Amino acid sequence: MVLLALTLAFAGFAGLSLSMDRHHRQVWRRPPARPTALLYRTLGFSLIAAALWPATAAWGLAVGIVAWLGMLTVAALAVSLLLTFASGRVRTPASSSP
């Protein structure tokens, strides 16, 4: 259950980051269309909210909410590090010139 909550939180933050122009360009090399950005944003918030269920099922309501907040922190850090280091490895034709 804990791994499910962490996975849902990670996917939610990945969706939220892909709804932003800058991060969408880093991954797909083009800006998102407005409906696509709205879809990513909606799915991101929904997945983050859905991550609360397995956390509360594993630990109960009081501890589950605190654990969920901790998992949100870990997932957000993982997504931000992934975007930071993955964008440095991807070379676009414009950035490969000296």
Interval 30-69: pLDDT, tens? 888 999 999 999 999 999 999 999 999 999 999 999 999 9
* pLDDT at position 93 over 60: no
| Residue 96 lies inside a defined structural domain of this protein | no
Judge whether 39 lies within some domain.
yes
Q: Is 48 domain-assigned?
A: yes
pLDDT value at residue 92? 53
Handedness of CA 85, 10, 65, 38 (dihedral sign): positive
**pTM reported for the whole predicted model:** 0.84
pLDDT value of position 91: 55
| DSSP single-letter state for residue 95 | T
Minimum mean pLDDT among 66-70, 85-89, 91-95: which range?
A: 91-95
Is 95 a member of any domain?
no
CA dist 72 and 4 (Å) reads 12
Domain holding 19, by residue range, is 2-89
Mean pLDDT within 67-94: 82
